[in-house]
Structure formats: C-alpha cells, structure tokens
A and B are shown apart, each in its own frame.
Chain A
Amino acid sequence: MTQIVRRVVVALLFLLVLNPNLLAADSSENNEPVIDVMGKVVDHDYFEIFNQKIYLPRIFLVEGGLHFYRNTQSAIESGEFQMVDGTMIRADGAPVSIDFSITSHLLFVWFGMILTLLITFWASFKYKKGTGGDTEPKGSGQNLFEVFFVFIRDDIAKEYIADNKHTKFVSYLFSVFMAISFMNLFGLLPWGASATADLTVTATLAAITFFITQFNGSKDHWEHVFMFPGVHPLMRIILTPVEILGLFTKPFALAVRLFANMLSGKIMIVCILGLIFIFTEIFGPMVGVGSSILWVALTAALYILKAFIGLLQAYIFTLLSAVFIGMAVEEHHHQDHESSVAMTKDVQI
C-alpha cells in the first residue's frame, strides 16, 4: 500500500515539473491550434530527433527539369522556388510536377527496410555457418527470427498458396511482414513516425502485392475473371465488371486497412496527450496537470494496444497478400467445376 502511495507521489512530482502552461501559451500566441494533431501525422521535410530538426534534401521535377537542394530553406533562398500555402512552387509560378524530396516518412521506410536487412543478413550469416542448419538454432535472437520466419512460411505462405507454389513468395511475404512491422513500430518511438500511416506508402505496398498477384495469375485465374465457366453467358455482363473491379478493390482494401489503422492509432495518442494542453488552455494549468494522470495512463494503454496492432496489421497485410496471391495462382481442378455447376443446378431446381 505504501509503495503505491509513494509511486503516486513521485508521479505527481514529475508532473509538477512539467509546465504545460508554457507550451500552451507558446502556441496560442499566434492563432494556431493548441495542438497540431495533423502536423504530427503528416509527412515532413525534416527528420526530428531529440527535438532537433534535421532538414532533408528537396528534389523537384518541374517541366522536365530536376532541381536539387540541400533543404527547403536553401531552395527558397536560391530564389528559384517559393512556398505558397505550404506547397513549393517555382518562382515563376510553375507548379512542381513531381516532388522527389526525401521526407521523414521515406526515411522511416528506409529504416524499416535496413533494419529488416540487417536482421535477416545476421540470421542468414548464422545459418550459413551451420547454426540452425546442422544444429538447432542457438540464442534467443535466432530462435525469435525462426519463429517469425517459419510462421510466415508455414502458417501463411504454405497455408494459403496451394499446389506447392508458395516457395516463390515466401521471401516477398517475409520481407513485407518484417518491413511493415518495423515501420509500424517506429511510430511508437518518441520522435518517430509510422511510415505506414501514410497512404502513399501503403498504396505502393499494396500495388506491389497487386502486380505480384497479377503477374503470377494462372490461366484459371484469368478465366474466372473474364469467362466464368459454368455460368450463363448473360450473367457475364454483370459478373465480369464486378470481377475486374474486384481485382482492384483487393489491393485498395489492403492499402486503406493498414493506413487507417496506423493513422488512427497515432491520432488517438496525439489527441489524448493533447487533452492535457487543451484542458490547460480551457480550465487552467491545475486541471491540466491534475487530469494528466488519466491521460498518461490512457496513452500508456494505447501504446500497448498500438504495439500489438503494429504487429497485427503487418500480419494481416501479409496474410491477405498471401490469400490474394494464393487465389490467383491456384489452378482449379475440373472436378470442382462440374460439382459446383451441379450444385448450382440443384439449387435452381
């Protein structure tokens, strides 16, 4: 009991050291919202660490010409570009065709990939030396790695991609799972961001799954999209557009699911922590500090949930990719057709 009391007192002391009024007053001066929720989740032209902003290179493609700058500041200072309403345009008013700038989210995408590569090469080196191949895997690291790898291979790839075609896709599924997991979990770091909370990233990942699915589609897959064996020809008028639409809704669902889950988690955390500042603004610093116990506890709970969701969403993305690939590569056996046709006839009678 005394331990709990002591802990609460210590926590209160820590909270008193913080001065939310200062931060709140700072932002309320210049007509900005108390806390910029969207600013926390959108892409930036700088990489923030320990409250230090490292501005990243900007690369613009304007009317077929590429322009390189060390950062946004130098682009504006050079006089060739200007910032209008938060977007960069060329000094003569020509809009930027494609913005190839290195952004914070891109950095986190790279971090996720690099971390995956490092871990995989480390494990690969161990396996090449014989540990795990000739003997049992040694050490928690290799065991953990193997748990994930074997899980992806056996419970996702082998399970959903039929006819022993899964071997080709294991490396894609594993790479994507690991990279997305790390991208998701980077959002939990103090100055980190979830790259997957960016529609561009998830859409690109989903597009890669889409292309892999379509390029590996079997004859049966395309036949089912356009021809519908065993269905009345007139039905094709309705079913073919639906199926073609279905080709694109699958990756769309993949992209939006991952994006929305990661974004909502981030927004929730920022909003709930932001309540401290909003309460301070409205009811005064005492209420803000007092209620912060609740908000911090809630945030901690959300953090645990988000860590879980980070892995879960990576798993779901991988699983659905495997399901879509499995549906496309599957070769239907003729017996199934006949039986299914027979079934529909039975039902019609």
Chain B
Amino acid sequence: MIFIASGGGILSFNTGFAFWVIVSMVLFLYVMGKYALPPIVKALDQRESRIKESLESAEIALAKAEQISKDNKKALKEAEIQAQKIRKEALEDAEMLRTEKIEKAKQDAEKILVNARNTIEQEKKKALVELRNEVADLAIKSATLILNSELDQIKNKKLVDNFIKDLSTHI
C-alpha cells in the first residue's frame, strides 16, 4: 500500500520523467562541454604549460648561472695568479733597482771622496808654494833689514843666494 504512494513505488521507472532527465541532461552536458568548461580547461592548460616552461627556463638559467660563476671563479683564480706574478716581478725589480742605486751612491761617494782628496792635495801644494814664496819674501825682507845695517850689496847678494839655494835644497 505504502509502496504505490503518489503514483508509483520507489522502484518504479517513470518513462516520461526519464525523457525529461535525458533531454535536460543532454542540454546540460552540451552547454557545459561547449561553453562553460572550455575556457577553464584552456586557462588551466595555459597556466600549466607556462609554469612548466618557466620551470624549465629557470633550470636552464640556473645552469647558465652556475657555468658563469664557474667561469668567473676560474678567471678570478687566473687573475690572482697573474697578480701574484706581477707583484713578485715588481718586488724583484724594486730590489734590483735598490741595489743598483746603493751601488751607484757608493760609487758617487767614492768619486767625491777622491775628488776631495785631489783638491786637498792641490790646495796643499799651492799653499806650500805660496808659503815658500812668502817665506822667501819674509826672509829677504828681514835679511834686507839686517844687511842694510851690516853688509854691502855684494855680500848681501851672496848671502841671499846661498840662503835660497839652501832653501831650495832643503825643501
């Protein structure tokens, strides 16, 4: 009794109802498949492919960056070696220059010393000659003074000549 309530039991199949369901279902599926879902599918596919692409390109970029950093490191190492070499060379050059300079200075000093000695020697000789002349003059003057008082001219001359002879031999 309960099972036939309102025109059919719970297990009955209603053809008219099924017809409506099929018609609306086909319409529903058509609209969904033709208009509603394609933009979503397209957008999602696009997004997925873009994400995939960007991941791939990121990987490539990462590899490139790694390569670049490796290259950089290598270049840096090379540059360091180069710099060290240059520094070493510069040091050597400087050392050489220094020794050269010292050598030159020593030589210069020596030269100056020799010059000075020569000059002193010459000056000494000059002074001696001057001194001799002076002494001679003085002697003559004093002798003159003495002889003027005691001797005549001939004796004087003889005396002076002897004196000078003596002087020249003595010196």
Q: Does A170 contact B (CB under 8 A)?
A: yes
The stretch that binds B, out of A104-112, A279-287, A299-307, is A104-112
Q: List 25 A-B contacts (CB under 8 A).
A: A36-B5, A42-B10, A43-B17, A86-B4, A86-B5, A99-B16, A101-B16, A105-B17, A106-B21, A109-B20, A116-B32, A120-B32, A121-B36, A124-B35, A128-B39, A149-B44, A170-B37, A172-B33, A175-B28, A175-B32, A175-B37, A200-B12, A203-B18, A204-B18, A204-B22
* A127 contacts B43, C-beta separation under 8 Å: yes
Q: Does A217 contact B (CB under 8 A)?
A: no
Residue of A nearest to B21 (CB): A204
Contacts of B12 in A (CB 8 A): 199-200
Q: In residues 11-33 of chain B, which contact A (Cβ within 8 Å)? A: 11-22, 24-26, 28-29, 31-33
Which of A45, A100, A146 lies at the interface centre, i.e. has the most chain B CB atoms within 10 A of its CB? Answer: A100
Q: B22: which of A120, A146, A198, A208 is its contact (CB, 8 Å)?
A: A208
* A123 contacts B40, C-beta separation under 8 Å: yes
Cα distance A171–B44 in the bound complex, in angstroms: 14
Contacts of A41 in B (CB 8 A): 10
Q: Which residues of A does B touch, CB under 8 Å?
A: 33, 36-39, 41-45, 59, 61, 85-88, 98-103, 105-106, 109-110, 113, 116-117, 120-121, 123-124, 127-128, 132-134, 146, 149-150, 153, 167, 170-172, 174-175, 179, 198-201, 203-205, 207-208, 263
Minimum distance in angstroms from B94 CB to a CB of chain A: 65
* B16 contacts A98, C-beta separation under 8 Å: yes
The contact string, 1 if C-beta is below 8 Å from chain A, for chain B 47-88, is 100000000000000000000000000000000000000000
Contacts of A146 in B (CB 8 A): 44
Minimum distance in angstroms from B163 CB to a CB of chain A: 132
Residue of B nearest to A123 (CB): B40
Cα distance A101–B8 in the bound complex, in angstroms: 13
Residue of B nearest to A37 (CB): B2
Q: DSSP majority for the B interface?
A: helix
Minimum distance in angstroms from B25 CB to a CB of chain A: 6
Contact A132 B47, CB 8 Å, known A120-B37, A123-B40, A175-B33? yes
Q: Does B41 contact A (CB under 8 A)?
A: yes
Residue of B nearest to A178 (CB): B32
* B10 contacts A124, C-beta separation under 8 Å: no
* B14 contacts A38, C-beta separation under 8 Å: no
Cα distance A105–B10 in the bound complex, in angstroms: 12
Q: How many A-B residue pairs have CB under 8 A?
A: 152
Cα distance A86–B12 in the bound complex, in angstroms: 14
* A200 contacts B28, C-beta separation under 8 Å: no
Minimum distance in angstroms from A86 CB to a CB of chain B: 5
Minimum distance in angstroms from A31 CB to a CB of chain B: 11
Cα distance A125–B26 in the bound complex, in angstroms: 22
Contacts of A123 in B (CB 8 A): 40
Q: B47: which of A105, A133, A149, A198 is its contact (CB, 8 Å)?
A: A133
Minimum distance in angstroms from A73 CB to a CB of chain B: 14
7 closest Cβ pairs, A-B complex: A133-B43, A127-B43, A171-B33, A100-B16, A120-B36, A175-B32, A99-B16
* A172 contacts B29, C-beta separation under 8 Å: yes
Contacts of A116 in B (CB 8 A): 28, 32
* B10 contacts A38, C-beta separation under 8 Å: yes
* A85 contacts B33, C-beta separation under 8 Å: no
Residue of B nearest to A127 (CB): B43
Cα distance A101–B18 in the bound complex, in angstroms: 11
Contacts of B14 in A (CB 8 A): 43, 99, 103, 200
Residue of B nearest to A195 (CB): B21
Minimum distance in angstroms from B62 CB to a CB of chain A: 23
